[in-house]
Structure 1
Amino acid sequence: MQLIGGMVLHRGAIAEMAPAAVARASLVRVAHAAEDARSLARAVSVLGPDASLRLAARLAGLEPADALLAADALSDGGVLMSKRPLSFVHPLVKSAISLDTPVGERAQLHRHAAQLLSEEGADPVQVGAHLLACEPAADPEVVQLLRRAAREAIARGVPESAVGFLRRALDEPVALAARAELLGELGRSELVARDPAAIEHLGEAIELTDDAQQRLALTCSLAEVLSFAGRLREAHALMSRAIEELGDPDDALLVRLETARAHTGWGWSDPEHAARERLPRLQALAKRTGPAGRELLIYVGLKLMVAGETPQEGVALVRRGLDDGRFIEDETSDAVGAVQAVAILAFHDELAEAERHIEHMLDDARRRGSVMGYAGGLGWRAFSALRRGSIPSAEADAGRALDLIEEHELHFAAPFALEFLVEALLERGQLEDCEAALARVPLEPFAGTLPGAYLLEARSRLLLAQGRPHDAIADLRQAGEILQAIGIENPNVKAWRSTLALALPAAASESHKLIEAELDRAQQARQARGLGVALRAKGLLTGGEAGISLLQDASRTLAECPSRLEQARTLTELGAALRRANRRADAREPLRQAVELAQRCGATVLAHRALDELKATGARPRSLLRSGIDALTPTERRISAMAAQGLSNPEIAQALFLARKTVENHLSNAYQKLDIQSRDQLPRVLSDAAA
């Protein structure tokens, strides 16, 4: 029992008291206590939970023996628990004492606590937390301690905390040179945290910095922020001006600047023309600068890949740039080159290799708390899933990536995730959801750029599904103009010509010209998927027995690549063509395969169409069933798979940037649909479904 303000109470009764009563009772007791006890109570309230008696005594200015007696008195009075380390009997007691401590005194106690903790080598973040509660006092040591706390926060993957520490450090009056350093560190931390204030702070740091090397490093960071804000032209002009002003730099510096300029110029026409002319020089620079040139090497590989003339050489350069994963390890998943590299591997249909590096990116992003790296990894994992033919997984990843991109204003990345999401939703027949998704990302800020082309293609797909070919044709023409201006000619990257050709009226001579152009480029690129898609389109345009032969060629070609979805589409068209030619018996086998493949892909619309065609041949297949794992939403499927691998709910929540309750709800829904009672049954059920 405890005596509080003249009342005898059981400890459990404190929790049942009204907050005001608890506060009044504790304050009365502390007010009547000896000065040593009052000082110790205030010290403990400042130090927070689990304060050691030794440190609390030092903060209160007490000798150890006096502090021990004061602690016993506070325990007897029902203010502190009787155990060690020191803690209050209830959070409300701590709050009451904190509020009763004068603001100035409390700030001084926090400053003293920070000093004591720093002297004892305590956690820099803990030290920084105390300094946040102090008033500015032109103290250089405070600035250094806050910078140390910020570095530790970045290392732990909590960039938001680093931003808070550095903004507090800026409140201290410092010399211009020190302020420039602080602003640079703050801007870079805001870059990781995806805080748009990074633009202002990096710009100010550049203005205040006299050191040429530091100015260039800050300029590169500012260009990166502007790029992700969708302000590509500003970023590119900034980097071009920096290179021109530099004159004749050494290779180590030049490779950094050229890499940054390449990234800001990628995706819109004017700088891309100039970059194509500089490509041999950039490749030579990247190769002779070793690890420093890896990201530029990836960019050169990207250019070669998308041009379609020597894609294999481009992929070889990308692999060299990735350096067996060391590039992501050294430069982190935030590096633009990391996203470019996994995209190129996926475009080349090296899906297993791409997915291995994507998982490396996601692991790195989770460890550092990087939303940018995590959203990028999710988006391109969605693309790889689409290429592989795993529609539910693609929908889940693309949807989550788009949510994070919107939440953290990663504007430049939004169109890519959006197109992947729209493609997945269309395969599942969710046209209204597609329309809602497209409304989330406006086209105007991306006009004339690669992200704009992705948006136009996504919208054209929806328009075609809605039976609005005229509008879709206009979007496809515009997207094609952008892609050609940028230099993207490889059909395995973008097959817009065949999509446009099939959308045009049947008698249009332009359709055949478009198909022949795409087929020529696909044959030059020598990539099975691009060639198979072009052959399929030509077969559909040609019709008759010649068209059937082309569709058979397309099916054989696509069998050489991992894209089950494209194979399912081709088998459906082949079976339909055979049925129209009155070769019903021949049509049944490709249509049976198409139904099976489409179902395995989760391509609902295609599966139903293939089934209808199969029924039209006179076959009597079973109807498509939606049960078990097929009834799971994409997010339920992803969370169930992670739970089956042994991850706990908190681990899943952290990995997917979701609330723990959200994970619990998804798992509960999954259990009902799978007719199981616990996560222990998930591995068997999911394994059986995969088999």
Structure 2
Amino acid sequence: VEQAAQETAKLRAARILTDSPGTGGNLEFTHPLIATAIYRAIPPGLRVGLHNAAAEAVRAAGLGPTAAARYLLEVPCEARPEAVACLREAAREYLRAGAPEAARRALARALQEPPPPEDRAALLHELACSTFLIEPAATVTHLRQALTEPGLSPGLRASIVYRLTQALAHTDRMAEAASVAAEEAHKATDPRTRLRMQADHFVWSAFRTDEPDSPARSRKLARLAERLTGRTLEERYILGLRAWDAMVRGEARQTVLDHAERALRGGMSWTDENRGFEVPASVALLFMYCDQPRRAEELFGRGIAECNAKGWRGSHLALGETLLGYIHYHRGGLAEAENHVREGLRIADRVEGAVPAQWFAIGVLIQTLLARGRIAEARQVADDHAFGETVPNAVIYPDPRTVYAELLLAEGRHAEAARLLSAVGGRQD
């Protein structure tokens, strides 16, 4: 110890080491370049041993899994269950802190270790959850791999399938999402799991532009909702879907609001990791269509606050900001609308494959710019995102082709707008 203190004093005097900020009495290098040069000078074999020793020391000192994970990422894969467990625990902490990229690195490394065979499916599921907010297309790949693993428990299988349908929907593969949910609902033996999968099937079917028989789906949904009290979360999701479907189909306003309030009575979170935010967001939005915009704003404010508190800066937050802007647009608050929608589009553009979230934001932004008389800016937004050239597979509000027709009208291109609106009307019929 005395020799170590002497050597430390020499390094301080040479301005290689200095005290770390804080009261812990720790040391750090005076400049990152010094740390890098010394690190690279350590022979590879010795460096690996030091990382291993550091990981064990950090864990023994109770400094937490994320501190140990930093060192485990630098050591060779040796199929150690304790390393896998530490990396998984670190990933959970990263996700709670709103750092999905760090969680993805830890889980990808745990998968390479590799984990015990019985843990592989659960690990793939966790990896998929870490990529969902930043790369939903990768989430699909991980979950399909997880479903091929043997010995899946019913609960884990239900969670994997739910996340798979959500990732498919968020990458504009609505028909596939609805089909996967319907197939799983048919297979499920547990009543709560079956009801949950039925709800997922109703969600993705309702947001398909090519749904083959929407009246039949509506009748089935209405019959199912009649028997439910809203006692469980699964039941409240069905009631929320029934409220949205009743609004879309022009049923009595009070019918819509009654079902919406019953759905909200027991609570619906936007950030429940085993549920989507689509139903809570739809229930919030229908209050705007039922002439209760303040209630809609309140619910969207809560949902956005939930996302921010959890660090969820993906499609959830993008759509929340966009639809809150849409409510402001309908109330005439065009400046507030533009601010929220631009923020929603900025977030959506950063998420790889977040196609529906982008379509929502672009359409509302164009409408808002047109309402503010900024036609050239609206055209630039449309051209930058190839808006009007393709038709998404998801139902988008406001309807993209109708928005594009509004832009054409504002530009004086009346004949083109008329043809497009006629085509939209034919499709709606």
Tell me, yes or no, whether TM beats 0.5: yes
Q: Which residue of 1 aligns with 2:327?
A: 384
Residue type of the alignment partner of 1:238: V
> For residues 198 and 358 of structure 1, what CA distance do their matches in structure 2 show?
26
The CA deviation at 1:302 is: 0.2
Write the distance in 1 (CA, Å) between the matches of 2:141 and 2:272.
27
Mapping 1:484-523, distance limit 5 Å: 484=429
Structure 1 counterpart of 2:6, which letter?
L
Q: CA deviation at 1:271?
A: 5.2
Aligned to 1:148: 89
2:161/2:180 contact within 8 Å kept: yes
Contact 2:136 2:354 in 1 (8 A): no
CA distance in 2, matches of 1:391, 1:258: 38
| 1:259-298 aligned within 5 A | 259-267=199-207, 268=209, 269-270=211-212, 272-284=214-226, 286-287=228-229, 289-298=231-240
Deviation at 1:320, TM superposition (A): 2.4
Within-5 A mapping of 1:117-128:
117-128=58-69
- With over 3 angstroms needed to count, the CA separation of the structure-2 counterparts of 1:286 and 1:184, relative to structure 1, is farther
Show CA shifts across 1:141-181 (max 9, x none).
Answer: 11000000011111111112111110111111233322111
Q: Are 2:199 and 2:238, in contact at CA under 8 Å, matched by a contact in 1? A: yes
* 2:72 equivalent to 1:135: no
Paired residue for 1:373?
A: 316
- 1:449 touches 1:482 (CA, 8 Å); kept in 2? no
Counterparts of residues 454-603 of structure 1 (less than 5 Å): 454-484=399-429
Unaligned 5+ runs, structure 2: none
Give the whole-Å Cα distance in 2 for the aligned partners of 1:447 and 1:379.
17
Which residue of the partner structure matches residue 307 of structure 1? 249
Counterpart CA distance in 2 for 1:314 and 1:175 is 50
Write out aligned runs for 1:92-491 (5 A). 92-211=33-152, 212-246=154-188, 249-267=189-207, 268=209, 269-270=211-212, 272-284=214-226, 286-287=228-229, 289-323=231-265, 327-328=269-270, 330=272, 335-370=277-312, 371-408=314-351, 409-439=353-383, 440-442=385-387, 446=391, 449-451=394-396, 454-484=399-429
Return structure 1 stretches of 4+ with deviation > 6 angstroms: none
Aligned partners of 2:104 and 2:271: how far apart in 1? 24
Aligned partners of 1:140, 1:193: CA distance in 2, in Å? Answer: 28
The 2-side partners of 1:177 and 1:298 are apart by 37
User: Which stretch of structure 1 is more off in the superposition, 89-98 or 268-277?
Assistant: 268-277
More RCO (CA 8 Å, sep 6+): 2
Deviations 1:114-156 (A, max 9, x none): 2221222213222222211222111111100000001111111
CA contact (8 A) 2:356 2:394 kept: no
Amino acid at match of 1:382: G
Higher helix share: 1
Question: Match for 2:142: what amino acid?
Answer: H
Determine if contact 2:324/2:337 at 8 Å carries over to the other structure: yes
Report the Cα offset of residue 304 of structure 1.
0.7
Q: Is the 8 A contact 1:443 1:452 kept in 2?
A: no
- Find the aligned partners of 1:448 and 1:378 in 2 and give their Cα distance: 22
SS in 1 for 2:112: coil
- In structure 1, how many angstroms separate the alpha carbons of the residues matched to 2:48 and 2:276? 38
Q: CA deviation at 1:86?
A: 0.8
Cα distance change on mapping 1:301 and 1:82 into 2, 3 Å = closer
Q: How many residues align?
A: 419
Which whole-Å CA distance do the structure 1 matches of 2:139 and 2:271 have between them? Answer: 24
User: CA contact under 8 A between 1:138 and 1:172: conserved in structure 2?
Assistant: yes
One-letter code aligned to 1:429: G
Q: Residue 461 and residue 335 in structure 1: after superposition, are their counterparts in 2 closer, same or farther (change >3 A)?
A: same
Deviations 1:36-84 (A, max 9, x none): xxxxxxxxxxxxxxxxxxxxxxxxxxxx444333322322343212673
Q: Could you give the per-residue CA deviations for residues 270-300 of structure 1, whole angstroms, max 9, x where no partner exists?
A: 2533321212233146536523322222111
1:532-681 to structure 2, matched below 5 A, reads: none
- Following the alignment from structure 1 to structure 2, what is the Cα–Cα distance between the partners of residues 354 and 324? 17
In structure 1, which of residues 70, 82, 92 is the aligned counterpart of residue 7 of structure 2? 70
- Partner SS for 1:81: strand
Amino acid in the other structure paired with 1:256: R
- What is the percentage of aligned positions where both structures have the same residue? 25
Distance 2:396 2:82 in 1: 47
Once residues 373 and 175 of structure 1 are traced to their aligned partners in structure 2, the CA distance between those partners, rounded to angstroms, is: 33
> Are 1:453 and 1:482, in contact at CA under 8 Å, matched by a contact in 2?
no
TM-score under structure 1 length normalisation = 0.57
Which protein is bigger by CA-based radius of gyration? 1
Gapped regions of structure 1 (runs ≥ 5): 1-63, 485-691
Map of 1:516 onto structure 2: none
CA distance in 1 between counterparts of 2:54 and 2:303 reads 39
> Secondary structure in 2 aligned to 1:208?
coil
